[in-house]
Amino acid sequence: MFDRPTRLFIVLGGFFVCNALIAEFLGVKIFALEATLGLAPLDWNLFGQSGSLSFTAGVLLWPVVFIMTDIINEYYGRRGVRLLSYLTVGLILYAFAFAYLSIGLSPADWWVGIQSGQGVPDMQAAFSAIFGQGMWIIVGSVVAFLIGQIVDVTVFHRIRRLTGGRHVWARATGSTLISQFIDSFVVLYVAFVLGPQQWPMELFLAVGTVNYVYKFVVAIVLTPLIYLGRALIDRYLGDELSGTLRERAAAAEGLAW
């Protein structure tokens, strides 16, 4: 039905959108990294603030989303990433709209207490708490995602121009590290500084820095996956077709090499 580049784009795009959408809904859970790894709590102290390593569960997936951005950028260029980014934002808003509609539905009486034996006395309250994320958090995450994508794509091609197409790790990991930095602070600023909680600037900077350090480490650790992904794609497409796609993606940015 489709040629191989089209099928590949559909698969990569589906994985990209799926990861971003799941990350949004998983973000409601805050986990303790030290306890998860069986380590003693780390009492960090930054900007006069202190705390342990606590993150939203969404951070498990956002580094993967940005790596997927770089892989798609490599073969389909800015227009491919832009299409998927806009589609993702639309689907995230669509999903949250129906989540809020679902919360507003009157629950069946028997369902409300059906999990009381498992420690959940009110399923309606639990459902509302999990899926009813605050509007400021939704806006913050969507704005941060779009800005992060724009920065990622731009930096990716700037590095590609400087390196002449060599050093995949430099443009992929470099663009991810810069875009993750912006993403880490934008989402917190919109959701918790501009939002009703009105975080003081010291808390905003401290939490943002801790979040970025985590993402920085994860991005470095995941760098080999970029080479693995590229190798699998080259094998699927064949060297000639794979090279043609990369050249077209670069030429579309005026960066042919």
Domain ranges of the chain: 4-34+55-106+120-251
Per-residue pLDDT tens, the chain, 257 aa: give them.
578 999 999 999 999 999 989 988 888 888 888 888 888 888 888 888 888 888 888 888 877 887 888 889 889 988 899 999 999 999 999 999 999 999 999 999 999 999 999 999 999 999 998 888 777 888 888 898 889 888 888 888 788 777 776 777 777 778 888 888 888 899 888 888 887 778 899 988 988 898 888 888 888 888 888 888 889 999 998 988 988 888 888 776 654 43
pLDDT of residue 253: 61
Element (H, E) at 36: helix 33-37
pLDDT of residue 141: 86
pLDDT of residue 257: 36
Return the number of other C-beta atoms located less than 10 Å from residue 188's C-beta.
22
Phi-psi region of 122 (alpha: psi -120 to 50; beta: other; left: phi over 0): beta
Query: CB of 147 within 8 A of CB of 186?
Result: yes
pLDDT of residue 9: 93
CA pair distance 86, 90, nearest whole angstrom: 6
Q: Check the CA dihedral 221-226-229-232 and report its sign.
A: negative
Q: What is the pTM of this model?
A: 0.84
CA angle, 224 then 230 then 232, to 5°: 105
What CATH fold (topology level) applies to the domain 4-34+55-106+120-251? Answer: Arp2/3 complex 21 kDa subunit ARPC3 (1.10.1760)
Pairing of strands 49-51, 44-46: antiparallel
Number of alpha helices (DSSP H) and beta strands (DSSP E) in the chain: 10, 4
pLDDT, tens digit, 9 for 90 and up, residues 127-138? 998 888 777 888
Q: Check the CA dihedral 190-191-197-202 and report its sign.
A: negative
List, in sequence order, the alpha helices (H) in 109-200.
109-112, 123-131, 135-163, 168-188
pLDDT of residue 165: 65
Which residues, in sequence order, are CB contacts of 157 under 8 Å at separation 6+? Answer: 73, 78, 171, 250, 253, 255
CA pair distance 62, 85, nearest whole angstrom: 13
pLDDT of residue 256: 40
Separation of first and last alpha carbons in the chain: 32
Query: CB of 112 within 8 A of CB of 183?
Result: no
Query: CB of 155 within 8 A of CB of 174?
Result: yes
